[in-house]
């Protein structure tokens, strides 16, 4: 499909090739793992003993395989959470796996996850909390900047190509980090990595920890929420192309704790529809347990979710598109039964669609919404059989470049009403 793009927008309003690849990938799995896992805590203050870190059966291959089997394209590991405990044997502090009984202090969780990613063709991202409640240097900003840069250098040097660096905005309000130097280091060592939400960000946080975007999902913005705990926002001097990532945990907490359960399948499908289905990316946390394995209940639910996604979207029927006077004519090549319609707009010249409608050949509106972006999935209330559709879009230079339809019959289309649950509890320290 080609269409009239009337003006060339400046580079900061269009995606880089790396951003577009990241948006098309769309689905990642988060692994929160560390001393908190062994203490039943969400946050800890840097005083937990490294002696408690002792996974008996750590199997990073299982973690990454699960992510792959669910259809995710990348994983993000908490190399260091706010407590400061490092999952790799860093030279910067003793507060790391090197001081733990696990593998007699010879282990490296980051290495094991990186190796598993290589084996399974998955992309690796790392979370390195700027807030560090163990490092004595933290009180001295200049000293801490050096310490943090040294940690980032180790991670950016020793584990192959990184796909995403996750900079968590939680921590003392107003604390600044050495973002210019952090940006220069990433440019030097991992220029292709996506940068989450802070400093030289290329992607942004969606603004909640429930995994939910809302229509419109605008890729160009001048501000993003910083964290879940205060009203801080990160602002840029001018609007930039910063597509959102929706993070959410399979369980109530981010770290594995006894007594929690995975979210229900309808809830997960609702999250899918409100993130990936709205053109945002989804980062679903599946926290390894104290063995260093995936909790069997979590694993079963995650696989069920992956299967449900394949049942719904695994056999897309592509269509032929033709530009007509007031939109696009979609030829399905004969009568098709369908219950989901997926649209993608061309993004190379920036996001253009501000609203859209899908109609059948009688002119009945089947679905409508605002943005389309990298993908927009509409679920119909019931299956229909049609051979053609018409799409109307509003937005200068908008080009719908792909329309696929899905037939999930035989696979349950859950009732998504009431599936959302706001996470209201704050982590204890
Ligand atoms: C938050 C952190 O405080 C949570 O512990 C978790 O890591 C979440 C992904 O980000 O800001």
Q: What is the pLDDT of residues 249-273, one digit of tens each?
A: 999 999 999 999 999 999 999 999 9
Query: Does residue 222 surpass a pLDDT of 70?
Result: yes
**Residue 409 CB: number of other CB atoms within 10 A?**
12
**Percentage of residues in the chain with pLDDT exceeding 70?**
94
Query: Does residue 1 surpass a pLDDT of 70?
Result: no
Can you tell me which atom of ligand 1 is nearest the CA of 129? Answer: 7
3-state secondary structure of 329: strand
pLDDT at 3: 46
Six token digits for residue 384: 């229909």
**CB-count burial class (<10 Å; 0-12, 13-18, 19+) for 187:** exposed
Q: Please name which of 111, 105, 175, 103 lies closest in space to residue 144, comparing C-alpha atoms.
A: 175
Q: How far is the CA of 301 from the centre of ligand 1 (A)?
A: 22
3-state secondary structure of 67: helix
Can you tell me which atom of ligand 1 is nearest the CA of 170? Answer: 11
- Which of 30, 85, 168 for mutating ligand 1's site (highest number of atoms within 8 Å of CB)? 168
Question: How far apart are the C-alpha atoms of 190 and 167, rounded to whole Å?
Answer: 15
Binning pLDDT at 50, 70 and 90, where does residue 429 land?
A: very low
Can you tell me which atom of ligand 1 is nearest the CA of 30? Answer: 9
Residue owning tokens 């309003």: 13
Question: How far apart are the C-alpha atoms of 285 and 277, rounded to whole Å?
Answer: 18
108 Rama class: left (phi>0) / alpha (psi -120 to 50) / beta? beta
Can you tell me which atom of ligand 1 is nearest the CA of 285? Answer: 9
Q: Please name which of 92, 105, 116 lies closest in space to residue 31, comparing C-alpha atoms.
A: 116
| Lowest-confidence pick of 230-244, 367-381, 390-404 | 230-244
Q: Please name which of 253, 274, 271 lies closest in space to residue 262, comparing C-alpha atoms.
A: 253
- Which of 76, 170, 175, 428 for mutating ligand 1's site (highest number of atoms within 8 Å of CB)? 170
Binning pLDDT at 50, 70 and 90, where does residue 424 land?
A: very low
Per-residue pLDDT reduced to its tens digit, 123-172: 999 999 999 999 999 999 999 999 999 999 999 999 999 999 999 999 99
Query: Does residue 92 surpass a pLDDT of 60?
Result: yes
Q: Please name which of 288, 390, 396, 380 lies closest in space to residue 339, comparing C-alpha atoms.
A: 380
pLDDT at 411: 76
Query: Does residue 358 surpass a pLDDT of 60?
Result: yes
Binning pLDDT at 50, 70 and 90, where does residue 419 land?
A: low
Residue owning tokens 């990613």: 117
pLDDT at 427: 42
Mean pLDDT computed over every residue of the chain: 93
Query: Does residue 233 surpass a pLDDT of 90?
Result: no
**Residue 398 CB: number of other CB atoms within 10 A?**
23
- Which of 39, 228, 284 for mutating ligand 1's site (highest number of atoms within 8 Å of CB)? 228
Q: Mean pLDDT, to the nearest integer, of 376-399? A: 95
**Residue 410 CB: number of other CB atoms within 10 A?**
6
Which residue did the predictor score with more confidence, 226 or 241? 241
Which residue did the predictor score with more confidence, 419 or 412? 412
Query: Does residue 238 surpass a pLDDT of 60?
Result: yes
Question: How far apart are the C-alpha atoms of 333 and 365, rounded to whole Å?
Answer: 21
Query: Does residue 65 surpass a pLDDT of 80?
Result: yes
3-state secondary structure of 137: helix
- Cβ within 8 Å of residue 259, ≥6 positions away: none
| Lowest-confidence pick of 199-203, 223-227, 398-402 | 223-227
Q: How far is the CA of 127 from the centre of ligand 1 (A)?
A: 10
Question: How far apart are the C-alpha atoms of 41 and 214, rounded to whole Å?
Answer: 31
pLDDT at 420: 55
Query: Does residue 416 surpass a pLDDT of 70?
Result: no
Give residues (CB < 6 A) around ligand 1. Answer: 42-43, 168, 170, 227-228, 247, 254, 427
Q: How far is the CA of 129 from the centre of ligand 1 (A)?
A: 9
Question: How far apart are the C-alpha atoms of 368 and 70, rounded to whole Å?
Answer: 29
Can you tell me which atom of ligand 1 is nearest the CA of 81? Answer: 7
Query: Does residue 205 surpass a pLDDT of 60?
Result: yes
**Beta strand 123-128 pairing with 320-324:** unpaired
Q: Mean pLDDT, to the nearest integer, of 77-90? A: 98
Q: How far is the CA of 184 from the centre of ligand 1 (A)?
A: 25
pTM of the predicted model, to two decimals?
0.95
Nearest CA to ligand 1 atom 4: 254
pLDDT at 422: 42
pLDDT at 7: 64
Six token digits for residue 183: 């940006």
pLDDT at 49: 98
188 HSE (CA, 13 A, CB side): 13
């Amino acid at each position: 499909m080609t269409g009239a793009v009337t003006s060339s927008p400046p580079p900061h309003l269009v995606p880089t090739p790396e951003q577009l690849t990241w948006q098309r990938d769309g689905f990642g799995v988060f692994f929160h793992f560390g001393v908190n896992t062994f203490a039943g805590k969400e946050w800890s203050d840097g005083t937990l003993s490294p002696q408690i870190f002792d996974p008996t059966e750590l199997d990073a291959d299982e973690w990454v395989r699960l992510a792959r089997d669910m259809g995710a394209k990348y994983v993000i590991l908490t190399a260091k959470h706010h407590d400061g405990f490092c999952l790799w044997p860093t030279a910067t502090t003793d507060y790391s796996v090197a001081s733990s009984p696990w593998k007699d202090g010879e282990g490296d969780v980051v290495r094991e996850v990186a190796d598993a990613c290589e084996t399974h063709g998955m992309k690796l991202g790392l979370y390195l909390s700027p807030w560090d409640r163990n490092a004595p240097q933290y009180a001295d900003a200049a000293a801490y900047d050096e310490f943090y840069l040294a940690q980032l250098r180790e991670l950016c040097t020793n584990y192959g190509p990184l796909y995403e660096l996750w900079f968590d905005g939680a921590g003392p309000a107003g604390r600044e980090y050495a973002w210019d130097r952090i940006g220069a280091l990433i440019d030097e060592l991992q220029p292709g990595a996506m940068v989450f939400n802070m400093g030289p960000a290329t992607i942004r946080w969606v603004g909640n920890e429930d995994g939910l975007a809302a229509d419109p999902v605008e890729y160009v913005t001048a501000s993003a929420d910083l964290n879940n705990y205060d009203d801080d926002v990160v602002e840029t001097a001018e609007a930039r192309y910063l597509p959102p990532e929706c993070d959410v945990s399979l369980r109530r907490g981010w770290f594995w704790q006894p007594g929690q359960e995975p979210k229900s399948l309808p809830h997960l499908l609702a999250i899918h529809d409100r993130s990936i289905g709205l053109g945002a990316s989804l980062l679903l946390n599946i926290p390894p347990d104290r063995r260093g394995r995936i909790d069997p209940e979590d694993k079963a639910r995650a696989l069920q979710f992956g299967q449900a996604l394949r049942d719904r979207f695994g056999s897309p029927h592509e269509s032929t598109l033709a530009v007509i006077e007031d939109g696009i004519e979609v030829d399905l090549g004969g009568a098709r039964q369908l219950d989901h319609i997926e649209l993608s707009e061309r993004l190379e010249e920036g996001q253009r669609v501000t609203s859209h409608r899908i109609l059948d050949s009688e002119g009945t509106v089947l679905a409508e919404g605002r943005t389309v972006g990298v993908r927009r999935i509409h679920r119909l209330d019931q299956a229909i059989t049609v051979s053609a559709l018409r799409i109307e879009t509003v937005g200068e230079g908008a080009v719908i470049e792909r329309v696929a339809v899905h037939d999930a019959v035989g696979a349950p289309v859950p009732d998504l009403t009431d599936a959302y649950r706001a996470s209201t509890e704050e982590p204890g320290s």
